[in-house]
Structure 1
Amino acid sequence: MIRLFRFGTLAALLLAATPAALAQQKLKYPKASPVDIYDAVEKPAVPIGGVEAYANYLGDKLNYPTVALQAGVEGTVETTFVVEKTGYTSGWTVTKSLSPECDAEALRLIKAGPRWKPAEHRGGVVRQRVTVPITFKMPLGAGGAAPQDPAAQAGVAAGAASSSAGPQVVTPDEPARPVGGTDAFFEWVQKNQKYPALAWQRKIQGKVMMEFMIEKDGSLSNIKPVKRLGSGLDEEAIRLIKASPKWEPAKYKGQPVRQKMVLPILFQL
């Protein structure tokens, strides 16, 4: 009887203490592993400056590969990467390929892009896997309609004169294009190109990205390089654009409008 009494007393004390102990216990989420990568989180990672600014970055900095441009390649490259806890990105891969040149350009854009605000999950900062599509749309109007948004464009922006509030950005019904077509334009560039002696001696090759405005009458103005190579190549690219034939201007609702264009001038030894 003594043993039973002692056991019963101990059991009663444990039962009496258990509710109080549970009442004071605080349930917490398990801490996230520093090496785990999340696909779904409570608060996703976002580019610093916002999504719109990031889309503008992609549109402004995209350099359409000359080989893809000449071959008429357009479409979307899907890139996947990890936004680290620091906001930097890593593990860049192409999960949907378009062409080797476009894939490489898409990865260059992502790697060189701005930092992100990292994701948050279960009360802490975590690593997140992010997918961003990069769309390549022919800037000369060949093969489809003009781009609709900053992330999808390759340096094209049409401007129609409007009120004193400034130019109105529109999507032309008929984008500007060289007289005779895209192929004829690049053939003319290659035929008339003069490789600068200094660049030849230094074995410098690559592409100069040229920006210019196609006026309503098809003439070209505001010609300037936006990506330079130096050693006389930038000046030669400017000369080529200035000397090139007129273009067929863009049209919006049947009326000619001014259109900004960005295209590469390739220099290859």
Structure 2
Amino acid sequence: MPPKPSATEVYDSVAQPAVPLGGTEKYAQFLAANQRYPAGAMQKGIQGTVKVSFIVEKTGTVNEVKVDAPLSPELDAEAIRLIKSGPKWTPAKHRNQVVRQRIYVPVSFVMSPGSEVVTMGAKERPITTSAADIAASANPNRPAVVAPDHPTRPVGGTEAFFEWIEKNQKYPLLARQRKIQGKVLVEFVVQTDGSLTDVRVVKKMGSGLDEEALRLIKAAPKWEPASYNGKPLKQKMILPVLFQL
């Protein structure tokens, strides 16, 4: 008769491997639904797979979670958090005995197609267009093209404007389910009275994010208009609207 399995030994290969409760497909869905893409990794454009190993104990709990193939500190830490927060497993069996087994799980991090790397977080500055897009409104039939003495800016400042965007943003359900993050670039014109008009998306992401970005800009507070020699101008702007889970 072969000897009985050791009570403390960790097996890599067994007759009946450990499986997550609910099955492997449900476990994969759990990992996908609960993954949080670290902002630092997004800023650096880091993607890839973190190979994680852990031990499924005889009780089905997960123990000794570690990264076998590091990718980046942020992604490694998130992979470990994700595995630790997962469900229990049905423990492995070997020679009719419940045993400890080492499991290897690859945790993939892939940014959604079309998403952009976030470089400055939620407080990004609006992007002004060239002087050719700045037209004096004193004579609308013959608009002069000038560089303003005082460019347009949100009332209360850029930081206050982005705080308003964050407070009033409604993350689209479809984008949340697909875990799509990034920024939608929106173009608009700040009129001489400070109102925002001619709003359109110049960099799309889909899944409802474009529509939400348009809604936010159209509903946004007025801006201080640009001016030249004391006269108000209308100025075209491009604004990044950030979406982050």
Listed as ranges, the matches of 1:1-269 within 5 Å are: 28-139=1-112, 141=113, 175=114, 177=115, 182-183=116-117, 186-187=119-120, 189-191=122-124, 192-194=158-160, 211-212=171-172, 245=186, 246=201, 248-249=203-204, 258=207, 264=244
Q: CA 1:77 to 1:56, structure 2 compared with 1: closer, same or farther past 3 Å?
A: same
Q: CA 1:97 to 1:121, structure 2 compared with 1: closer, same or farther past 3 Å?
A: same
Normalised by the length of structure 1, the TM-score is 0.50
Deviation, structure 1 residue 38? 0.3
Structure showing greater radius of gyration is: 1
Deviation, structure 1 residue 259? 6.1
Q: CA 1:43 to 1:68, structure 2 compared with 1: closer, same or farther past 3 Å?
A: same
Equivalents in 2 of 1:43, 1:49: separation in Å?
Answer: 16
Task: Name structure 2 gaps, 5 residues minimum.
Answer: 125-157, 164-169, 187-200, 211-241
1:209-238 deviations in whole A, cap 9, x for unaligned? x84268xxxxxxx889x9xxxxxxxxxxxx
Residue 138 of structure 1: SS of its match in structure 2?
coil
Task: Name structure 1 gaps, 5 residues minimum.
Answer: 1-27, 142-174, 197-209, 215-221, 227-240, 251-256
Q: CA 1:54 to 1:223, structure 2 compared with 1: closer, same or farther past 3 Å?
A: closer
Deviation, structure 1 residue 42? 0.4
Equivalents in 1 of 2:70, 2:33: separation in Å?
Answer: 21
Normalised by the length of structure 2, the TM-score is 0.55
Equivalents in 2 of 1:223, 1:91: separation in Å?
Answer: 31
Equivalents in 2 of 1:59, 1:260: separation in Å?
Answer: 20
Equivalents in 1 of 2:76, 2:123: separation in Å?
Answer: 25
Q: Contact 1:249–1:258 (CA<8 Å) still a contact in 2?
A: no
| Letter of the 1:112 counterpart | S
Deviation, structure 1 residue 29? 3.5
Indicate the percent of aligned positions where both proteins have the same amino acid: 38
Equivalents in 1 of 2:176, 2:110: separation in Å?
Answer: 22
| Letter of the 2:172 counterpart | F
Deviation, structure 1 residue 138? 1.1
Q: CA 1:126 to 1:68, structure 2 compared with 1: closer, same or farther past 3 Å?
A: same
Equivalents in 2 of 1:96, 1:49: separation in Å?
Answer: 27
Equivalents in 2 of 1:131, 1:263: separation in Å?
Answer: 32
1:145-203 deviations in whole A, cap 9, x for unaligned? xxxxxxxxxxxxxxxxxxxxxxxxxxxxxx4x4xxxx24x654732355598xxxxxxx
Equivalents in 2 of 1:213, 1:264: separation in Å?
Answer: 13
| Letter of the 2:244 counterpart | P
For the aligned residues, what is the CA RMSD? 3.4
| Letter of the 1:264 counterpart | Q
Match in the other structure for 1:144: none
Q: CA 1:58 to 1:89, structure 2 compared with 1: closer, same or farther past 3 Å?
A: same
Deviation, structure 1 residue 248? 3.9
Count of residues in correspondence between the two structures:
156
Q: CA 1:30 to 1:258, structure 2 compared with 1: closer, same or farther past 3 Å?
A: same
